[in-house]
Chains A and B, each alone.
Chain A
């Protein structure tokens, strides 16, 4: 059944590693923003967690995830219920959701920035999207992150220039809340898999992708990473998982998500 593949890309390794974030979620809405998170959620739903819920990225919940990109004229998506933007918040604020997204900055507290870089808040050097739904997501339900280019501009040394999402910063803890209320189950990057399960919610290394060293990860992270014992290698995709990924991504959009689309095992 589960034959480890020999030939796979780093994107495919990341999809499989990211799918693991949804394994123990039970019946929640899995929202993967971007190609790799969406494929990860789809893979989880089609394999080990069929109870997950998923949207068509527009206004319907589906009982089967949609393949990415243009589909044939005879394709009929498996609608389950309507869930437009005004109703999405009913789900978000109920807590029954796990989102995976790619913020521009992630600091040592797990706080993220999607809004503005540099300069002043009144006149930022680089304006981005805005806070979007990050504030509400982060205080309402678990959020995992995917970072296609692991470096210390993403994992910055100081605090985020603008804090879009609540993290494990004691100074920002709202009255009556506990830092344990914040859930960041996984951080998947092009180098490794991490979580915030270290002492006092410090970022912690869970696995290294094939050929990546601890030193490389630490050099590219602006704050210390907690390391416990021997760090395993991120498991290779199985042939079965690759077959599902190919079916879910028939136009191979995953090949454009990590710079130069490198192989999963470094040459």
Chain B
């Protein structure tokens, strides 16, 4: 089976009003080339589920987001994502604000085809009082009340990995695969972009097979986009682009997202990469030290 498609074909599968999960974490290993393709498209009214960074900021500021399901949105070294803040402060988006771990439980519930997973996380906080859709229930086994974290069923998941083969075997060799496996498993349609396309024999080596976190039947489509996580990191291939993020944040103060897009987005990923200095420059970005 050959699951390879183009970024444009991938984004054409996303329809108005769909729920889209985006992998990665803050400024790390985000499927940014696919996000950029959304920005070039007409799709709108999305519900976005993410451990958010600039992916969320860009989608909010370009009017693509109806509702955001989030625990945080941050660029890490720039703690507050400027375009997400503006969207919230303007009242532009609906939100379902939850704990980081609740998001994991919601994705797991969807992946496991459960309506909810019980947890004590969220009790006693405004996570419960501000989210009427999250119910608190009695337990059949004890006298406590529990949060029934609802399944976060995704129409589409977008994730970026280091390497994949044409059948959708995906390798993440960086230090953390974040919750990408659960994003993929929670989705009806999991679209994976990869920095490198490899032969199936690449995974014969056991150490490489250990860096595959879901079965290929969970991957619906593979899009080969070298450098496709830029400006976020794809460790160990490249780090996140600090000067680019600083410039991006600057547009929130002056010019707005449209000016950022006018300068960088282009009509294709090739054009974008030319506008940010080329693929070699992306691959030369140093990894961060924590």
List chain A positions with a Cβ less than 8 A from chain B.
56-60, 66, 69-71, 82, 84-86, 89, 92-93, 111, 115-116, 119, 121-136, 138-140, 162-167, 169, 172-177
User: Is there contact, CB below 8 Å, between A131 and B99?
Assistant: yes
User: Is there contact, CB below 8 Å, between A136 and B80?
Assistant: no
Partner of B145, one of A58, A121, A139, A175: A175
A139, closest chain B residue (CB): B120
The 10 closest A-B pairs by CB, nearest first: A176-B144, A166-B124, A123-B91, A127-B88, A57-B290, A130-B72, A59-B175, A84-B176, A136-B121, A59-B176
Partner of A123, one of B84, B90, B144, B179: B90
Q: For this complex, into which size category does the number of interface residues on chain B fall?
A: 35 or more
Partner of B101, one of A56, A125, A136: A136
- Name the residue in A85, A126, A134, A167 with the highest tally of chain B Cβ atoms < 10 Å from its Cβ: A85
B172, closest chain A residue (CB): A84
Is B240 part of the contact surface with A, judged by Cβ < 8 Å?
no
Partner of A132, one of B88, B100, B123: B100
A176, closest chain B residue (CB): B144
User: B residues within 8 A CB of A128?
Assistant: 80, 85
User: Is there contact, CB below 8 Å, between B178 and A176?
Assistant: no
Q: In the bound complex, what is the Cα–Cα distance between A163 and B126 (angstroms)?
A: 5
User: B residues within 8 A CB of A59?
Assistant: 175-176
**With A134-B99, A164-B126 as given contacts, are A124 and B89 in contact (CB-CB < 8 Å)?**
yes
User: A residues within 8 A CB of B97?
Assistant: 115, 130-131
User: B residues within 8 A CB of A86?
Assistant: 104, 177-179, 181-182
9 further interface pairs, Cβ-Cβ under 8 Å (given A86-B104, A93-B101, A136-B101): A59-B175, A85-B179, A121-B126, A127-B85, A131-B125, A133-B71, A133-B101, A134-B125, A174-B136
Is B169 part of the contact surface with A, judged by Cβ < 8 Å?
no
User: Is there contact, CB below 8 Å, between B80 and A129?
Assistant: yes
Is B115 part of the contact surface with A, judged by Cβ < 8 Å?
no
Please classify the interface of chain A as helix (H, G, I), strand (E, B), loop, or mixed, using the class held by over half of its residues: loop
Chain B min CB distance to A106 (Å): 14
Q: In the bound complex, what is the Cα–Cα distance between A91 and B238 (angstroms)?
A: 29
Partner of B123, one of A57, A92, A166: A166
User: A residues within 8 A CB of B142?
Assistant: 176
Chain A min CB distance to B45 (Å): 18
Q: In the bound complex, what is the Cα–Cα distance between A123 and B171 (angstroms)?
A: 41
Chain A min CB distance to B108 (Å): 10
Partner of B99, one of A136, A163, A169, A173: A136
User: B residues within 8 A CB of A121?
Assistant: 126, 130
Chain B stretch 121-149: residues in CB contact (< 8 A) with chain A: 121-127, 129-130, 136, 138, 142-145
Is B73 part of the contact surface with A, judged by Cβ < 8 Å?
yes
Q: In the bound complex, what is the Cα–Cα distance between A176 and B138 (angstroms)?
A: 10
Partner of B70, one of A70, A130, A133, A138: A130
Chain B stretch 240-290: residues in CB contact (< 8 A) with chain A: 289-290
User: Is there contact, CB below 8 Å, between A60 and B178?
Assistant: no
Q: In the bound complex, what is the Cα–Cα distance between A119 and B120 (angstroms)?
A: 29
Partner of A177, one of B123, B176, B289, B290: B123
User: Is there contact, CB below 8 Å, between A173 and B176?
Assistant: no
Chain A min CB distance to B137 (Å): 11
User: B residues within 8 A CB of A136?
Assistant: 99-102, 119, 121-122
- Name the residue in B101, B104, B122, B126 with the highest tally of chain A Cβ atoms < 10 Å from its Cβ: B126
Is B74 part of the contact surface with A, judged by Cβ < 8 Å?
yes
User: Is there contact, CB below 8 Å, between A132 and B289?
Assistant: no
Chain B min CB distance to A37 (Å): 14
**With A86-B179, A123-B89 as given contacts, are A135 and B73 in contact (CB-CB < 8 Å)?**
no
User: Is there contact, CB below 8 Å, between A166 and B125?
Assistant: yes
Q: In the bound complex, what is the Cα–Cα distance between A123 and B278 (angstroms)?
A: 39
User: Is there contact, CB below 8 Å, between B178 and A124?
Assistant: no
Chain A min CB distance to B265 (Å): 25
Q: In the bound complex, what is the Cα–Cα distance between A70 and B89 (angstroms)?
A: 36
Q: In the bound complex, what is the Cα–Cα distance between A175 and B137 (angstroms)?
A: 10
B182, closest chain A residue (CB): A86
Q: In the bound complex, what is the Cα–Cα distance between A39 and B94 (angstroms)?
A: 39
A168, closest chain B residue (CB): B124
User: Is there contact, CB below 8 Å, between A131 and B72?
Assistant: yes
